[in-house]
């Protein structure tokens, strides 16, 4: 066959037309593949989609949750069908073991993640965070006063100090002044932890606040003081006996996590009335105690009823220690606010027998 210029032109045109029709198809396929790679698993299970049987055996194995089961209204994921069968032989026991390992790994994971950040990194992060929040309010940074329930309008000065507790987080402290008086100074503590590959703010507490001393203002420590000021060492290690600040940190982390899911409030079902109570956290009482018989830790806490300044609840937290991790178990209303002779007082529903407890150092 003789290949003429006309043949060449026709062949080239055909090739271009074919290519132009294929390219959109290829482009669509590429885009679809990219979307698939970023789509989260269709099923979201407990423990961040880790294999629950793997956790029960002390392993952390991420899954797509394509193999899963429902137990007590929640979804649990497995790496294989065999793992699912093994779990269902004793789901309650396996689930408890999984919870223990998952919780115990949190402190270790936090400690590992903390190693990725220097003191200067954290100071720079919290400095920028405060600056960004202040810009939203014309230079004012609002701090919730847990004692009064008020939002304090403050002006940021600088980061003064930073405390580090291995496995628990960073605790930068910043100097602020009152918006209406630069001589009224506050020391505000921030609890910062790594989370999902970046630093995250967990809590903000007033450590010192201004009090009039003659014709001047002096800063005085707030009570109860934040739990992170209790440890004598910044790298506490792992003693045989848990200390009071570890119990307090477990309580406050539980409260912070619960508040995140409830618009900043701690919601509790009153075990006597059956009604839900919305509360604002004030602080954990000291000392922390431990039951001699069961080994459970417990501590009392103060909460303010939402929308009130004077109605204070005393809430008791019981905690268990398993696999080195303390976690909140039972939560009960210990004292309730009631009006008596024109004053609001706390009325106890039960009393503790301190002879059956010991103090936690």
pLDDT in tens, 115-142: 999 999 999 999 999 999 999 999 999 9
> Do 58 and 148 lie in a common domain?
no
- Asked if pLDDT for residue 302 goes beyond 60, the answer is yes
- Asked if pLDDT for residue 239 goes beyond 80, the answer is no
Asked if 230 and 249 touch (Cβ cutoff 8 Å), the reply is no
> Do 300 and 204 lie in a common domain?
no
Q: Does residue 33 lie in a domain region?
A: no
Averaged pLDDT of the chain: 84
pLDDT of residue 264: 81
Weakest-pLDDT range from 16-20, 175-179, 197-201, 279-283: 16-20
Q: Which contacts of 297-304 are long-range, i.e. CB under 8 A and separated by 24 or more positions?
A: 297/242, 297/247, 297/321, 297/326, 297/360, 298/357, 299/247, 299/248, 299/251, 300/334, 301/251, 301/255, 303/266, 303/279, 304/146, 304/149, 304/279, 304/280
Q: Does residue 25 lie in a domain region?
A: no
| Domain-terminating residue out of 186, 202, 229 | 229
Mean per-residue pLDDT, 89-97: 89
> Do 187 and 265 lie in a common domain?
no
> Do 309 and 257 lie in a common domain?
yes
Strands 198-213 and 216-221: antiparallel
Percent of the chain with pLDDT over 90: 54
> Do 261 and 222 lie in a common domain?
no
Q: Does residue 211 lie in a domain region?
A: yes
pLDDT band at 84 (very low <50, low <70, confident <90, very high): very high
pLDDT band at 234 (very low <50, low <70, confident <90, very high): very low
pLDDT of residue 7: 55
CA 52 to chain centre: 22
Q: Which of the pair, 36 or 192, is modelled with greater confidence?
A: 192
- Asked if pLDDT for residue 91 goes beyond 80, the answer is yes
Q: Does residue 28 lie in a domain region?
A: no
Percent of the chain with pLDDT over 70: 83
> Do 181 and 90 lie in a common domain?
no
Task: Count other C-beta atoms under 10 Å from residue 41's C-beta.
Answer: 14
Task: Count other C-beta atoms under 10 Å from residue 76's C-beta.
Answer: 27
Q: Does residue 343 lie in a domain region?
A: yes
- The whole-angstrom separation of Cα 28 and Cα 22 is 10
Mean per-residue pLDDT, 208-226: 92
Containing domain of residue 107, as a range? Answer: 47-114
> Do 123 and 220 lie in a common domain?
yes
pLDDT band at 27 (very low <50, low <70, confident <90, very high): low
pLDDT digits (tens, 9 = 90+) for 161-189: 999 998 889 999 999 999 999 999 999 99
Weakest-pLDDT range from 46-60, 76-90, 251-265: 251-265
Q: Does residue 5 lie in a domain region?
A: no
> Do 137 and 85 lie in a common domain?
no
pLDDT of residue 35: 46
| Domain-terminating residue out of 86, 114, 142 | 114
> Do 270 and 314 lie in a common domain?
yes
Q: Which of the pair, 87 or 97, is modelled with greater confidence?
A: 87
Mean per-residue pLDDT, 217-236: 78
Q: Does residue 133 lie in a domain region?
A: yes
How many residues does this entry show for the chain?
Answer: 361
> Do 140 and 219 lie in a common domain?
yes
Instruction: Give percent helix, percent strand, percent coil of the chain, each to the nearest 5.
Output: 30, 40, 30
Task: Count other C-beta atoms under 10 Å from residue 112's C-beta.
Answer: 12
pLDDT band at 25 (very low <50, low <70, confident <90, very high): very low
pLDDT of residue 235: 46
| Domain-terminating residue out of 229, 255, 274 | 229
- The whole-angstrom separation of Cα 68 and Cα 84 is 7
- Asked if pLDDT for residue 57 goes beyond 50, the answer is yes
pLDDT of residue 64: 94
Q: Take residue 196 and report the two structure tokens written for it.
A: 């999902």
Domain total of the chain = 3
> Do 131 and 109 lie in a common domain?
no
């Amino acid at each position: 066959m003789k290949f003429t210029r006309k043949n060449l032109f026709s062949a080239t045109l055909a090739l271009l037309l074919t290519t132009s029709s294929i390219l959109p198809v290829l482009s669509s396929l590429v885009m679809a593949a990219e979307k698939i790679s970023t789509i989260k698993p269709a099923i979201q299970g407990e423990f961040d989609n880790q294999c629950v049987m793997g956790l029960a055996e002390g392993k952390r194995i991420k899954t797509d949750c394509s193999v899963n089961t429902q137990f007590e209204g929640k979804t649990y994921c497995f790496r294989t069908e065999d793992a699912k069968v093994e779990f269902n032989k004793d789901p309650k026991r396996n689930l408890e073991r999984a919870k223990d390992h998952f919780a115990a790994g949190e402190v270790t994971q936090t400690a590992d993640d903390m190693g990725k950040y220097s003191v200067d990194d954290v100071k720079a992060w919290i400095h920028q965070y405060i600056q960004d929040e202040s810009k939203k309010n014309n230079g004012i940074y609002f701090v919730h006063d847990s004692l009064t329930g008020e939002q304090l309008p403050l002006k940021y000065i600088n980061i003064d100090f930073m405390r580090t507790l291995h496995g628990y987080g960073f605790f930068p402290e910043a100097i602020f002044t009152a918006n209406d008086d630069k001589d009224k100074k506050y020391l505000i503590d921030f609890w910062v932890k790594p989370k999902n590959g970046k630093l995250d703010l967990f809590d903000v507490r007033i450590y010192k606040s201004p009090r009039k001393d003659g014709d001047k203002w002096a800063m005085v420590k707030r009570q109860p003081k934040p739990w992170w000021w209790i440890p004598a060492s910044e790298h506490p290690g792992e003693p045989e006996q848990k200390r009071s600040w570890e119990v307090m940190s477990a309580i406050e982390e539980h409260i912070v996590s619960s508040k995140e899911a409830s618009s900043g409030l701690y919601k509790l079902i009153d075990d006597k009335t059956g009604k839900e109570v919305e509360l604002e956290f004030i602080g954990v009482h000291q000392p922390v105690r431990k039951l001699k018989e069961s080994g459970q830790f417990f501590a009392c806490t103060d909460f303010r009823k939402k929308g009130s300044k004077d109605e204070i609840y005393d809430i008791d937290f019981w905690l268990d220690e398993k696999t080195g991790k303390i976690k909140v178990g039972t939560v009960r209303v210990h004292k309730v606010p009631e009006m008596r002779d024109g004053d609001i007082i706390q009325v106890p529903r039960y009393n503790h027998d301190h002879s059956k407890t010991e103090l936690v150092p």
